[in-house]
Amino acid sequence: MLYITCPLPQRRVHFINLTMKENYSFSYNVFEDVADLTPDDQALVDKARKATELSYAPYSKFNVAAVAKTSSGQFVVGTNQENASFPAGICAERTLLSAVSSLYPGDAVKTIAISYHNLNEGGHSNRPVSPCGICRQSLLEFENRTKQKIRLILSGMEGKVMVVDSASMLLPFSFGGDDLK
């Protein structure tokens, strides 16, 4: 709001609304079960679920795995790796992106399946998991660097599965290299 006061004896205050409302929305697909996915997507989710066993999460007991299929057809696994000196650990998604960059330089990532296994007493692993903020930023940077959208398949050990067509959809107000220019 902008307030304008007139300097006349009969002071009037005028209100001018200078705000503009904008909306952001995106679409994603929800599947009731992994069996409803294509065979290739099912296989990727199965690999991610199995890879949660490779996670090192003795403190949170929240094992996360991310498995990528690269543009050259390679499969790469990343898991969360915790450290007693929080926050020195690294999430599965960033472990994965580092591995892809190191093992297959120049390869883009086509699809990533992310899954988790909550080993806490009473914990559940039956709904999709979404990347944290720093992982969203890292996924977007990788998309921008390789000029390839990364399709995300989000799941738990069972239950519904969400598919997002591009990691950029999860971070609409991102910070990127252009902001540094």
How far apart CA 8 and CA 154 sit, in angstroms, is 63
CATH architecture of 27-168: 3-Layer(aba) Sandwich (3.40)
% helix, strand, coil for the chain, step of 5:
30, 25, 45
Residue 19: the pLDDT is 79
- 58-67: per-residue pLDDT in tens? 999 999 999 9
Residue 74, amino acid: Q
The sign one gets for the Cα dihedral 122, 125, 130, 134 is positive
Residue 17: the pLDDT is 65
Q: Which residues are catalytic?
A: 93
Confidence of residue 29 (pLDDT cuts 50, 70, 90): very high
Output Rg (C-alpha) for the chain, integer angstroms.
22
**Rounded mean pLDDT of 82-89?**
91
- 20-24, 91-95, 138-142, 177-181: segment of lowest average pLDDT: 20-24
Q: Are 148 and 165 in contact (CB under 8 A)?
A: no
The number of beta carbons lying within 10 Å of the beta carbon of residue 156 is: 20
